[in-house]
Amino acid sequence: MRYFLIAGEKSGDQHAAGLMIRIREQDAQADFRFIGGDAMSEASGNEPLLHIDRLGFMGFTQLLGQAGRILKLFKVCHQGILEFKPDLIIPVDFGGFNLRLIRWAGIRGFRSVYYITPKIWAWMPSRGKKIARYCEKALCILPFEPDFLSRYGADSHYTGNPVVEYTEPVVKQDPGQVRKRLGLPQKEIIALLPGS
């Protein structure tokens, strides 16, 4: 199958790379095109249509100055999708952009499965209708999200949080050994983890 993935942030790039590896385990002929970063490039063996390092913006103020980049991103996605004709589009988080993209793609008959749904329960919950209308499935990483999205008619499923995969090997180790290996003092260890 042909897959088109869109991850606009570093955390999405890492999570999408893990998803690409799992897809390839199930579909040895998987062909990927994507907007993403180095992790997705390594996982797929391809270069991104547009690298996320060229997208770097956060917040409304920065967004205002980036209208040209956002328009370019839409153009690259639209052109990439129309030329590649993917069997499945997989938006990864990046809600402000991907929610608009799934609408555009859905109107044109493309199938979408949203991986790591945006945190619409925290901002503009009514966007759940858009996910329900334009995505075949919504794959959620927080346990309460499927119930929330099902209120809008979305076929949503809890997949677990991919951050657990990164931290589990360390968490299972002896804390004293971890401190010694990392040169940390005998104090509390606090982990700083991505939010999505």
The CATH number of whichever domain residue 154 belongs to comes to 3.40.50.2000
User: Of 46-50, 80-84, 180-184, where does mean pLDDT reach its minimum?
Assistant: 180-184
43/89 same-domain check = yes
111/181 same-domain check = no
97/32 same-domain check = yes
Residue 89: strand, helix, or coil: strand
25/70 same-domain check = yes
Show the beta-strand stretches assigned E in 17-120.
31-36, 50-51, 88-92, 113-115
Residue 58 pLDDT > 70, yes or no?
no
Predicted pLDDT of residue 59: 46
The rounded Cα 68 to chain-centroid distance in angstroms is 22
Separation of alpha carbons 119 and 124, rounded Å: 9
Query: Residues of the chain with pLDDT > 90: what percent?
Result: 63
71/97 same-domain check = yes
Separation of alpha carbons 20 and 27, rounded Å: 10
Mean pLDDT score, 95-117 = 96
146/181 same-domain check = no
Q: Say what the pTM is.
A: 0.85
Domain count within the chain:
2
**What is the number of alpha carbons within 13 Å of residue 41 lying toward its C-beta?**
11
96/178 same-domain check = no
Residue 119 pLDDT > 90, yes or no?
no
Range of the domain at 45: 2-160
Please report which confidence band the pLDDT of residue 194 belongs to, taking 50, 70 and 90 as the band edges. low
Separation of alpha carbons 57 and 194, rounded Å: 17
Predicted pLDDT of residue 60: 46
28/122 same-domain check = yes
110/24 same-domain check = yes
Please report which confidence band the pLDDT of residue 69 belongs to, taking 50, 70 and 90 as the band edges. confident
Cβ neighbours around 193 below 10 Å, total = 11
Please give the residue that has the higher pLDDT: either 123 or 42. 42
Mean pLDDT score, 35-64 = 81
56/83 same-domain check = yes
Both tokens of 193, joined, read: 């983890």
Mean pLDDT score, 114-134 = 89
131/94 same-domain check = yes
For residue 190, CA distances in Å to 53, 162, 184 come to: 28, 19, 11
24/105 same-domain check = yes
For residue 169, CA distances in Å to 10, 13, 40, 166, 183 come to: 21, 21, 22, 7, 18
